[in-house]
A = this chain, B = another copy of it.
Amino acid sequence: MDTRPIGVFDSGMGGLTAVRQMIRMLPGEDIVYFGDTGRVPYGGRSVETIVRYARQDVAFLRSFDLKAIVIACGTVSTTALDVIIEENHIPILGVVEPAARAAAEATKNGRIGVVGTKATIRTGAYEASIRKLLPEVYLTAKACPLLVPLVEEGRFKRGDFVSERIVEEYLSPVKAQGVDTLVLGCTHYPLLREIISDFMGTGVTLIDTGEQAARAIAALLTERDQLNDRTRNGERRYYASDSAEDFAATASLYLGSNIAGSVERIDIELYLNKAWRSTKARPVE
C-alpha cells in the first residue's frame, strides 16, 4: 500500500473520462488531476509546442509527491511520452500502449481503425504499437479535428445532426475498410460513443483509451504492491489553468459526478520545464 496520489493530466477536460474509470476501478486511490484549460486544445499544435506544454504539466503535477502519472491525453501520449518518461523517475503511463493491447485482443478479423486529433494521427503511434503486438494487422487511421470542439460545445448526444454528420464524414472511409475494432484515440471521444457506435454498427468494438489506461494503472499498482485498500475513501483534487468555476461547471459531463468546490486554478506558465531542469541540469530550450 502506498497512499501517495496518482497524478493525471490532459490538455483540458477529456482526461476526466479516464479519471471516471479510475475512480470506479480504484476507489481507494488519491488522484491529483491537472487540465490545461487555458491552452486547450493541443491536438492541432506542433510537436515542439506539445512537448513543451507536457513538460510544464508534469512539472506542476510533480509539485506533489506522486506514486505514478497517467497521461490521459491522446495527443501528449503519442507525441511526448518518451521525453516525459526519460525525464521522470516515477512510473509514467500513456493511453497508447493499453489501448493498443486491448485493440489487438479485441479484433477477430485483424482489421483495426484508429481515430484521434491531427497531432495524434500524424505520429502513427497507435498503429506502431498495435503492429508490434499483431504484425499482420491491417490498420487504417483518420484525424478528426472537429470532434473535440463539438464535444466541448456539449454536442455529443444522439440526434445532434451536425455531430452525426461530421462523425459520418470522418468515419465513412474507416468503416469502408471493414474494421471490427476502432480505437477512440482521444479521451474526449467516449462522450461521442453512442453516435460513433450507431454509425459503425454493433459489430465494431470501440476501445475507450481512458478505460484502458485505468485498467493498466490498476495492474501496475497491483504488481508493485502499491494499491490502496478499496474501502479507503480516495481523495481527488482538480487543478485547471483557466477558470476553476468553468472547469467545475463542465466536469460533471465527463466525470458523471459533481466536483464543485474541489477545483483550483493554477498558473501553468510558472512551471517552465521545471522537472526537466531539476533532473538534468541542462539549460531550458
- Chain A contacts to B: CB under 8 angstroms: 37-39, 44-46, 48-49, 145-146, 149-150, 152-153, 161-162, 165-166, 169, 241-243, 246, 269, 272
Q: When the two chains form the complex, which single residue of B48, B146, B242 contacts A46, counting CB atoms closer than 8 Å?
A: B242
Identify which of B149, B169, B269, B272 contacts A149 (C-beta below 8 A).
B149
Give A146 to B146 CA distance when docked, in angstroms: 9
Decide if B49 touches A38 in the complex (CB within 8 Å): yes
User: Would you give the shortest CB distance from A40 to chain B, in whole angstroms?
Assistant: 9
Residues from chain B with Cβ under 8 Å of A48 in the complex: 243
The chain B residue sitting closest to A44, CB to CB, is B152
27 A-B contact pairs sorted by A residue (CB < 8 Å): A37-B45, A38-B39, A38-B45, A38-B49, A39-B39, A44-B152, A45-B242, A45-B243, A46-B242, A46-B243, A46-B246, A48-B243, A49-B241, A49-B242, A49-B243, A145-B149, A146-B149, A146-B150, A146-B153, A146-B162, A149-B149, A161-B165, A162-B162, A162-B166, A165-B165, A269-B269, A269-B272
